[in-house]
Structure 1
Amino acid sequence: MKLLSLSPALKNMALYGSSIVLMKGVSLFMLPYIANHISQHELGRLELLSTFAMILSVILGLSLHEALYRFAGAEQDPHQKRRITGEIFTLTMIVGAIALPIIWLFSPFISEWKPEYADTIELELLLMPLAFEGMVAVVLASFRMREKAKLFFYLTTGRALLQAALTVIVLYQGYGVTAILFAGFISAALQVVVLVYLQSKQNKKVRGTGYLFNKEMAALCIPYCLPLMASGLVAFGLNGFERWILAENTSFSDLALYAVALKFALALTLLMQPFCMWWMPKRFDYLQSRGEKITAKMTQSSLVLLCGLTVLVCYLAPVLIEWLMPESYQQAKNIAVALIIVSAIKELNELINLGALAEKQTKKLLWINTLATGLGMIAILVLTPIYGMSGVIISLILAQTMRVILTFILSQSAHPLPYSLGKLSVLLLITSVSIALSLSSFSVGIQLMMAALCTTSVVIFASQLQLITLPKNEQGEKCL
């Protein structure tokens, strides 16, 4: 109890981490239920609609929450901080008011263009809440800035759990994709109403009015946010675009297999999340206060964790697919392993970009991401019509690998860290062999034994190679 009472920062971190894991994890937990209640073709169509919503949310969100961090976060005066937050919030409401009728008017035309993807009502249910995506992001970001972790947790997980509950109900009653989208619409609309109410109360503390608009603030926000929005669109090229091309060149049933595999590959990201939430903001402090050697050792330890979890998930994902998914989805096992490898390479890139970020080489990182995404998209366009899903997976692995190599070269040239590259190469070789063995057709019992054996082997070899370093307690944490 004393630990909890003396550690509000740790409690907040736990709440933020739990909310993120729950938000991302609900879709994984719901997947077997949905797959057992709608056809494989319909699940593939639902996945394609989700990717459409993904890219539109990036555009309509305009990354205005990043402007909040930049302009309100630097303010020390609470009144001024509230004023800037209110002005950016009002800007998001204006964007939403403009976007909402546009979505309403253009949904019928989109439906006529691709009637096999969705009808008008499905597009409206899916896209209309996205008009206020920026508002949701800004208000939730303001909660984090004001350390309202409980409120953040309730409003984010509440929406996810409400959507899951409504989805269960409508599918149990025998409804399909339209009803699933309606469940998402209801949960999103309720969240928007609550957030508008809460933020309006905050706005009234400034100049006695609930709505604030400042042309100067808008002029600052838009140029600042547009490049960030462009970065989000670049990321879509390797995380969404491939599903469109897959749908055009294969079938919705194949896309459903890909979607199932992708959801189970998400388990790796979820398992890495607790460590990353601790290490990502901490690593710059390590570099400055503890030096390059300790920081490099901690980064190597994070790579050991990534390798161990990758091996574990590569063995467990096929087992879970066999246990939880209908017979028609069993082909997703090997696809899941391939996409876990893609996820691992993406996580690797986030762990080794420290040098570039420490020296503020963000523009060069953007160019690397753009180049890797562009070449990946070209490869997807060329290989998918020939090789189908295999072409997509090959393209993703090649693009993400090139991104990691270029990021590592940039980071080491900007701020060299003394990594033990020879030992890391041995670790990578052991990990690769373990993953290759997971593709064998073992029984479930042997697969589980291999999962324990191979994961343990990775840790033992890493320990023997002295790649594992445990963080020492900091002076400020000894009192906890």
Structure 2
Amino acid sequence: MGIKNFIGFAFGPIASAVLGLITVPVFSWVFSPEDVGRLNILHMVISFCLLLLVLGLDQAYVREFHETSNTSQLLKLCFRPGFYLLLVSASVSLPFSNNLSSWLFCEVDPWFYPLILVCILTSYISRFLSLILRMQERGLAFSISQIMPKASQLILLGVVLWTGATRNFLTLLWITVASTLTVVVVYAWNTRKEWLLALETQPNPDQTRALLKFGLPLMISGLAYWGLTATSTLVLRSQSTLSELGIYSVASKFAGAATIFQSIFTVIWAPMVYKWVAEGVDMVRVDTVARQALSVVCAIFVVTGIFSWLTDYILPVHYISVKYLVLCAIAPPLLYTLSEITCVGIRISRRTKLSVWVTLAALAANVLLNLWLVPKHGASGAVMANALAYMVFFVAGTEASAHVWRQFPRNKLYLCVGFTIAFAVATVLFGPTALIHYALFWLAALPLVGWLFCKEWTELISAGRLCFDQKISSRMLGDKSTYSVKKK
């Protein structure tokens, strides 16, 4: 992938995270913690339905894209089964819509079911259309589509404030619907050639079965992973209060800044590593990437620990504990990113059933930890449980990958991640009562990270300079060729 495409892909997550850091405080000031908690439940429901309906065929599309001669047919093969399942599921769940609304949101409204259904439908379509841009390495178009939801949410929040509209969960639901519709329209326009060609193709049932054989284990793993991420929300909903759920939701959304790293990396990583496999590249380079990613993960933890107290100045007073919680809240996206590298051998070897067992082990740990910690600590217990469960997820997946694929060095990975998670948990537990401000401890860790990963920082800086020099050289060559053509 060239530097231009990399910048294109990186632009979306960075801009989206910046907009997210604006929208989160606005949401927290405009809507009550209870409604913010309900919004968290809505996102949980959408993600669950998307994982179930996609049937793992989104991953099958990514895996087979570089090894098929008809990508349009592949798109239709992967899109169609889940779309039919969506229509059936919508019909079956219709009679229970009020009961589901009451159980999930503690409120009933006739608009809830149709609006949630629109959110699920647009999210499903957007998922596959985004894969087209991702696999074609159209980074800028992909990024613009990622920015649109946050931008439209900010605009609609401004409309709510300006018009004095009712500030309740139904308003939040309308804002979510409008943002997802905006995204699917943009995706549809940017990929119109590809999906129009896909409509004309004739799927082969044998190919569908082969794709499902690859995708269904990943779907099960994805559902288990959803349980891993949703457990805290469900336990807080049942064992605590909607207000605590709102605090947890805001802390998680602030931790969304850490997903810049996750979003950029995961979008680029899977297509790139599968391309390496197809080209017969020496996979030792994966070890180098893992070390470099570890250095970035540790640096993000330290910088967050130094500056998380700034949330006190942009959030209402009832979110004062967020500055402690955000240290554990950033653990899931960062550890997931590391696991994408260290666990890649499971997918390369097509042993995707192992992903199910790895995720189930982490899910079991998360359920037990949440049931133990949430009743006593509320939102603080939920973020600690998540951080520790993702530690289990990372270690189990890494060991499974080393077993079925190839052995690689792991001691430094485990030591650094273990100490970092321990410091994050300590911040949540002892930060509010410590005699010394918690940020000073994280500040003291900054030179340690710089020394421990000196080699990795040098490699990253050198790679950045090389990319920059190549960019300048290509521009100069382009200018010279243009000049020579004009001269002739």
Alignment size in residue pairs = 462
Q: RMSD across aligned C-alpha pairs, in angstroms?
A: 4.1
State whether structure 2 residue 250 is matched by structure 1 residue 260: yes
- Residues in 2 aligned to 1:427 and 1:215: alpha-carbon distance in whole angstroms: 45
Q: Write the letter of the residue equivalent to 1:181.
A: L
Task: Answer with 422-431 or 86-95: which moved more.
Answer: 422-431
State whether structure 2 residue 29 is matched by structure 1 residue 40: no
8 Å contact 1:349–1:404 — kept in the other structure? yes
Change (3 A) 1:196 1:302: closer
- Residues in 1 aligned to 2:5 and 2:420: alpha-carbon distance in whole angstroms: 37
- Residues in 2 aligned to 1:65 and 1:41: alpha-carbon distance in whole angstroms: 34
Task: Report the equivalent of 1:330.
Answer: 320
Q: Write the letter of the residue equivalent to 2:48.
A: I
8 Å contact 1:72–1:81 — kept in the other structure? yes
State whether structure 2 residue 55 is matched by structure 1 residue 55: no
- Residues in 1 aligned to 2:202 and 2:346: alpha-carbon distance in whole angstroms: 38
Task: Report the equivalent of 1:142.
Answer: 132
- Residues in 2 aligned to 1:222 and 1:457: alpha-carbon distance in whole angstroms: 47
Q: Percent identity?
A: 19
Task: Report the equivalent of 1:182.
Answer: 174
8 Å contact 1:61–1:135 — kept in the other structure? no
8 Å contact 2:331–2:390 — kept in the other structure? no
State whether structure 2 residue 225 is matched by structure 1 residue 235: yes
1:194-343, aligned counterparts within 5 Å? 195=187, 202=194, 204-205=196-197, 215-216=205-206, 218-271=208-261, 273-274=263-264, 285=276, 292=284, 296-317=287-308, 319-343=309-333
State whether structure 2 residue 21 is matched by structure 1 residue 20: no
Q: Write the letter of the residue equivalent to 2:314.
A: L
- Residues in 2 aligned to 1:205 and 1:357: alpha-carbon distance in whole angstroms: 29
State whether structure 2 residue 474 is matched by structure 1 residue 456: no
- Residues in 2 aligned to 1:214 and 1:430: alpha-carbon distance in whole angstroms: 49
TM-score by length of 1: 0.79
Change (3 A) 1:451 1:186: same
The alpha carbon displacement at 1:199 in A equals 5.9
- Residues in 1 aligned to 2:403 and 2:214: alpha-carbon distance in whole angstroms: 28
State whether structure 2 residue 390 is matched by structure 1 residue 400: yes
Q: Which runs of 5+ in 2 are unaligned?
A: 475-488
Change (3 A) 1:117 1:339: farther
The alpha carbon displacement at 1:325 in A equals 0.3
Change (3 A) 1:384 1:23: same
Task: Answer with 110-119 or 276-285: which moved more.
Answer: 276-285
Task: Report the equivalent of 2:4.
Answer: 11
Q: What does the per-residue CA deviation read over 1:145-201, in whole Å, with 9 as the maximum and x for residues that have no partner? A: 344444333333234422331133224424222112112212323444565577665
Change (3 A) 1:335 1:447: closer
Task: Report the equivalent of 2:24.
Answer: 31
- Residues in 2 aligned to 1:354 and 1:64: alpha-carbon distance in whole angstroms: 18
The alpha carbon displacement at 1:48 in A equals 1.9
1:153-168, aligned counterparts within 5 Å? 153-168=143-158
Change (3 A) 1:399 1:90: closer
- Residues in 2 aligned to 1:426 and 1:62: alpha-carbon distance in whole angstroms: 35
Q: Write the letter of the residue equivalent to 1:125.
A: L
1:347-386, aligned counterparts within 5 Å? 347-353=337-343, 356=346, 360-385=350-375
Give the 3-state SS of the residue equivalent to 1:407 in structure 2: helix
Task: Report the equivalent of 1:4.
Answer: none
Q: Write the letter of the residue equivalent to 1:183.
A: I
State whether structure 2 residue 402 is matched by structure 1 residue 409: no
- Residues in 2 aligned to 1:89 and 1:437: alpha-carbon distance in whole angstroms: 44
Q: Write the letter of the residue equivalent to 1:299.
A: A
The alpha carbon displacement at 1:42 in A equals 1.9
Q: What does the per-residue CA deviation read over 1:57-81, in whole Å, with 9 as the maximum and x for residues that have no partner? A: 22233333234334554223xxx33
Give the 3-state SS of the residue equivalent to 2:126 in structure 1: helix
Change (3 A) 1:391 1:243: same
Q: What does the per-residue CA deviation read over 1:236-267, in whole Å, with 9 as the maximum and x for residues that have no partner? A: 12211220111111111011111111122222
Q: Which runs of 5+ in 1 are unaligned?
A: 1-7
Change (3 A) 1:85 1:297: closer
The alpha carbon displacement at 1:310 in A equals 0.7
Q: Write the letter of the residue equivalent to 1:315.
A: I
The match for 1:108 among 68, 79, 98 is 98
Q: What does the per-residue CA deviation read over 1:96-139, in whole Å, with 9 as the maximum and x for residues that have no partner? A: 44444455544233235556155331343233231343322122
Change (3 A) 1:412 1:469: farther
- Residues in 1 aligned to 2:301 and 2:384: alpha-carbon distance in whole angstroms: 18
Change (3 A) 1:351 1:43: same
Give the 3-state SS of the residue equivalent to 2:407 in structure 1: coil
8 Å contact 1:298–1:469 — kept in the other structure? no
Q: Write the letter of the residue equivalent to 1:129.
A: C
The alpha carbon displacement at 1:342 in A equals 4.7
Q: Write the letter of the residue equivalent to 1:186.
A: A
Change (3 A) 1:459 1:117: farther
Q: Write the letter of the residue equivalent to 1:178.
A: L
The alpha carbon displacement at 1:322 in A equals 0.5
- Residues in 2 aligned to 1:71 and 1:297: alpha-carbon distance in whole angstroms: 26
8 Å contact 1:355–1:417 — kept in the other structure? no
Task: Answer with 158-167 or 345-354: which moved more.
Answer: 345-354
- Residues in 1 aligned to 2:13 and 2:62: alpha-carbon distance in whole angstroms: 19
8 Å contact 1:62–1:226 — kept in the other structure? yes
Task: Report the equivalent of 1:130.
Answer: 120
